[in-house]
């Protein structure tokens, strides 16, 4: 199974389970995201939604290039990118707090997924970054749009995107992307992070989430996400991208 879903005491944990592929997103994992989103909407018990990666090396390395490199045209790319962007929008607008428990590298689309979460709890040794530029494309699942919504100083957010480099946990904390950096066991870190939140009535959490969701609706967030997808799709079709991916796959 490429993912697991486990609920304990109101904490729903969605684990990407492709450690041999650095938990890269494929079509099956996209369906896993849909399953989790539906689970949350149909449950009265879920108070927190957590996403993490199996193993210790990677949270998520983004889209599985071995699978998606077969997409060549703008139209083909838009089909895949828009599908995941729709999923991430549904994830970002869930009525419960969402937490990216980042156990290892979160790069490319993995960084986009984490940015779409309300909180990012990052392992000390983890490195994260919007490295899409090294493949001659932009973020394509809405990650840049969410990054500019997360309250980072504009110049820091833009530099994070344009640099296309990985940042260590200290840098991620400094720029304001990491909510908390932890040492040791991830489950202990998660328990400590939500310790005080647990004492608050979940109706309060949902009310605050609704305030943010209303703001995003008024600011046409989904429309802006889909425009980001369109930009990435145009770049995806160009030879510069295909050449960059070929070089990456030959490493």
Q: What is the pLDDT of residues 167-205, one digit of tens each?
A: 999 999 999 999 999 999 999 999 999 999 999 999 999
Residue 12 in domain: yes
Cα Rg of the chain, angstroms = 17
Residue 65 in domain: yes
Domain that holds residue 174: 3-184
Q: What is the DSSP letter of 63?
A: B
Task: Copy the structure tokens of residue 70.
Answer: 């077969």
State residue 65's pLDDT score. Answer: 86
Task: Copy the structure tokens of residue 141.
Answer: 């699942």
Residue 232 in domain: no
State residue 241's pLDDT score. Answer: 95
State residue 90's pLDDT score. Answer: 98
State residue 178's pLDDT score. Answer: 98
Residue 105 in domain: yes
- The rounded percent of the chain whose pLDDT value lies above 70 is 100
The mean pLDDT of 85-91, rounded to a whole number, is: 98
3-state secondary structure 136-193: CCCCCCCHHHHHHHCCCCHHHHHHHHHHCCCEEHHHHHHHCCCCEEECCCHHHHHHHH
Task: Copy the structure tokens of residue 246.
Answer: 């070929």
Residue 136 in domain: yes
Q: Is 12 helix (H, G, I), strand (E, B) or coil?
A: strand
Tell which residue, 81, 88, 110, has the closest CA to residue 22: 110
Contacts of 88 (CB under 8 A, 6+ apart): 33, 112, 113, 116, 141, 142, 146, 225
Tell which residue, 152, 159, 154, 151, has the closest CA to residue 130: 159
State residue 251's pLDDT score. Answer: 77
pLDDT, the chain, mean:
97
Q: How many CB atoms lie within 10 A of CB 67?
A: 15
Residue 98 in domain: yes
Residue 134 in domain: yes
Model confidence at 12: pLDDT above 80:
yes
Residue 206 in domain: no
State residue 171's pLDDT score. Answer: 98
State residue 70's pLDDT score. Answer: 87
Model confidence at 133: pLDDT above 90:
yes
The per-residue pLDDT for range 195-233, each reduced to its tens digit, is 999 999 999 999 999 999 999 999 999 999 999 999 999
The mean pLDDT of 143-150, rounded to a whole number, is: 97
What's the chain's length in residues?
251
pTM of the model: 0.98
How far, in Å, CA of 108 to CA of 203, rounded?
34
CATH of residue 153? 3.90.226.10
Provide the domain count of the chain: 1
Contact 186, 103 (CB under 8 A): yes
State residue 207's pLDDT score. Answer: 98
């Amino acid at each position: 199974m490429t993912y697991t879903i486990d609920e304990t005491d109101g904490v729903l944990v969605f684990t990407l389970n492709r450690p041999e592929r650095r938990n890269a997103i494929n079509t099956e994992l996209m369906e896993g995201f849909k399953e989790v989103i539906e689970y949350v909407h149909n449950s009265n018990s879920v108070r927190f939604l957590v996403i993490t990666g199996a193993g210790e090396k990677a949270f998520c390395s983004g889209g599985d290039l071995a699978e998606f490199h077969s997409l060549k045209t703008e139209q083909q790319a838009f089909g895949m990118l828009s599908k995941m962007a729709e999923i991430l929008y549904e994830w970002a607008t869930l009525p419960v707090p969402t937490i990216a428990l980042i156990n290892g590298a979160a790069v490319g689309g993995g960084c986009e997924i984490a940015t779409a979460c309300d909180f990012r709890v990052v392992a000390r040794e983890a490195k994260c970054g919007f490295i899409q530029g090294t493949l001659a494309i932009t973020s394509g699942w809405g990650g840049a749009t969410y990054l500019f919504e997360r309250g980072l100083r504009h110049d820091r957010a833009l530099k994070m995107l344009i640099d296309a480099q990985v940042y260590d946990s200290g840098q991620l904390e400094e720029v304001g992307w990491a909510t908390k950096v932890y040492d040791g066991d991830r489950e202990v870190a998660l328990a400590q992070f939500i310790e005080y939140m647990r004492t608050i009535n979940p109706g309060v959490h949902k009310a605050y989430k609704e305030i943010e969701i209303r703001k995003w609706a008024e600011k046409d967030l989904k429309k802006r996400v889909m425009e980001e997808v369109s930009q990435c799709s145009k770049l995806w079709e160009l030879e510069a991208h295909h050449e960059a991916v070929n070089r990456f796959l030959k490493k």
